[in-house]
Amino acid sequence: MDAVTTAALNETTGRGSLVRALLIAAAISLLALLLLSLPSLRLDPYTRATLSLRGSEANGERLFLINCAGCHGIDGQGLVGPNLHGVRHRKNDRRLIQQVISGATPPMPRFQPEPQAMADLLVHLHGLT
């Protein structure tokens, strides 16, 4: 092979490696984006509806006092139920919603308010610091 052919082959091989690396990087980025969006794709209709709404702190506080304060305390400090201060740092909104509606941790009852009421309650829970 002459020097010109060798140089051309090296340049082509270099470009091929670069293109391959870019394609791999793009595939990895696409896979990461898909994995990050999967939780939102798996949301049940109730959770999806709740998360699409803007909550009201005043209504959320009222709902909390009526339905939750008996076990979690008027200020969410915990009584029979756990302390809810900083709960938004321990559970994301999807997990908070599931916790409230599932009744999976007795003695907490199943409780599924309308999506707007749940959005209001989430805003109140976010404010418990």
Q: Would you call 112 exposed, middle or buried from its count of C-beta atoms within 10 A (0-12, 13-18, 19+)? A: middle
Q: In one letter, which amino acid is 99?
A: Q
What's the confidence (pLDDT) of residue 25? 86
What's the confidence (pLDDT) of residue 61? 98
Q: Residue 37 pLDDT > 60, yes or no? A: no
pTM for the whole thing?
Answer: 0.67
What's the confidence (pLDDT) of residue 69? 97
What's the confidence (pLDDT) of residue 27? 85
Q: Would you call 64 exposed, middle or buried from its count of C-beta atoms within 10 A (0-12, 13-18, 19+)? A: buried
What's the confidence (pLDDT) of residue 34? 62
Spatial distance between the Cα atoms of 94 and 49, rounded to a whole number of angstroms: 11
The pLDDT of 45-50, averaged and rounded, is: 96
The dihedral through the CA atoms of 99, 102, 104, 105 has a sign that is: positive
Most confident of 12-26, 34-48, 63-77, 94-108: 63-77
